[in-house]
Structure 1
Amino acid sequence: MHTISGHHHISMITKNAQLNNQFYQKVLGLRRVKKTVNQDDPSMYHLFYGDLTGSAGTELSFFEMPIAGRTVRGTNAITQIGLLVPSFESLEYWQRRFELLDVRHGEITSYAGRDALHFEDFEGLRMILINNNGEEVPEKWSEWQDSIVEPKHRILGMGTVEITVRYLERLAKTLKDTFGYVEVTRSETEAIFQSKAGQSFGEIVVKQQEGPSEKPGKGSIHHLAIRVKDENELRYWDEVIKERGFQSTGIVDRFYFQSLYFRESNGILIEIATDGPGFTADSTVEELGGKLDLPPFLEEKRSEIEAKLVPLD
């Protein structure tokens, strides 16, 4: 049986790779697991942060676009990212940490039925720390021991992702009927779906909101990638989404994983990505994120690519 096993990664836009690098490593304590370039536009950095090896489900990825303007918030967009932390005590730790480091944040509250702490990065990207409260996490997630954050409060990986759309039922139909997500709750303007019942590492909150679509810029979310095991499963899903009337890019080899892209009926860009081979395809675990890694098809252009990039620590 073919199933979606959770989130794979989520990709955002940053205007400044240096500040982005500082925030996600030195404030959030994530590991930079890959410093590479956008394979479709090698003039821009593509940075990945996550756990020890950048396991599927822990990856936050950023395209650096120095010309990016501000995000004008609206509907038909991925609007918030949940990050799981071990306990309620962890939320209190992070609240104190955010106050100390002058990170914009709210009070501890609840979100999708769990204790939560809303905050924003330096570009206004909206995120939520969520109390995992001892719930299961994917077995391949591995803690990075060199994180600057206290071990018992470190971020585990991705949790609930929020998507805001004009037509909730259209996205609900895609999640349930196409991908087999379980509908957990539903109100007139909001619904919660899980790829694995009871677990937040594959959870999506869908909110219905009328009005103009979001205008993307710095701190906006480009796409959500959902997770499948291997290329055989990816080929299966490629056929399924075509049968449902969506236009697929077909399978794209990203070297670190294979994937395909499509837009659901509200225009949200969704990627389906394989677990492997992973970021150790061209690096040892110890070396991850240290140097500029390029997929083989770009290696011959390394000098040209490096000349256009501002050096990044």
Structure 2
Amino acid sequence: MPQLKILIFGLLALLLTACSSNDELNLPPGASSSEAELYQTAQRYLRGGNYELAVQSLQLLESRFPFGRYAEQAQLELIYAHYNNYEHEAAIEAANRFIRLHPQHPNVDYAFYMKGLASYTLDQGFLDRFIPSDKTKRDTGHARTSFAEFAQLLARYPDSSYAADAKARMVHLRNLLARNEINIANYYFKRGAYLAATNRGRFVVENFQQTPAVADGLAVMVQGYTLMGLSELADNSLAVLALNYPEHSSLDDNGNFISNYTAEGPQRSIINRLTLGLVSQPKPPEFDNRPEDAGY
């Protein structure tokens, strides 16, 4: 008799749990809702932008009908729901799981694409979508991962419907990574680490061709070599800069390099000297020739 009571209480608990889940997801009473009804519920949440409940309903659908007609589609849409619910790590995990379970699926390229998209936004919060911030001054680890994911998509599925967007995002990411190197060079100038700054500029010129940051990379090299007293290397870099980017902000109308810093140190103004350095202190070299609509 005690065992029968325990069994009854256990069944009641399961029934109450199922009813609770159904109430939260607006499902029909009882846990026996059909697969099609569960899938339509998930679609309703997706269309309405309620991604938290969409995630719950898709997970419930998969757990109840793991081999049903909507199981694979639910797994794909779960990636999308996680991403739009700002659960980027969960979106990547869901994408990896789909790729592992369905490597030959006709829409597996979507999973690769979403991995790249989620990797890029992994360090972004809700407010980042509304408050502009300079992403080039953040850690670029996620951007590099995202670039690699998009590259993998293009290598595996060059004819994918997501290929064009992936290529555009890779261009954007490459520009961002190049600009990050210039930001680091500017920081090194402030610290007086001229060799380190110059090396960053040369790295951009050698490895990020056809990005807007190349012009600043050359300017960094000119300034760095000048500060280190390497006039021949500075002149060579200046010649390349003036030939290819004559409108760069570091050049005057005659193609001469404009700088308050030379190998002898900062060029102090009369006011700076009279105030013993308290006013009009020359700023360390800093280069940022991004166009206003750069978007990164």
Under TM normalisation by the shorter chain, which class is it?
under 0.3
User: Computing the radius of gyration over CA atoms, which structure comes out larger, 1 or 2?
Assistant: 2
Per residue, is there more strand in 1 or in 2?
Answer: 1
Give the TM-score normalised by structure 1. 0.22
Q: Which has the higher contact order (CA 8 A, sep 6+)?
A: 1
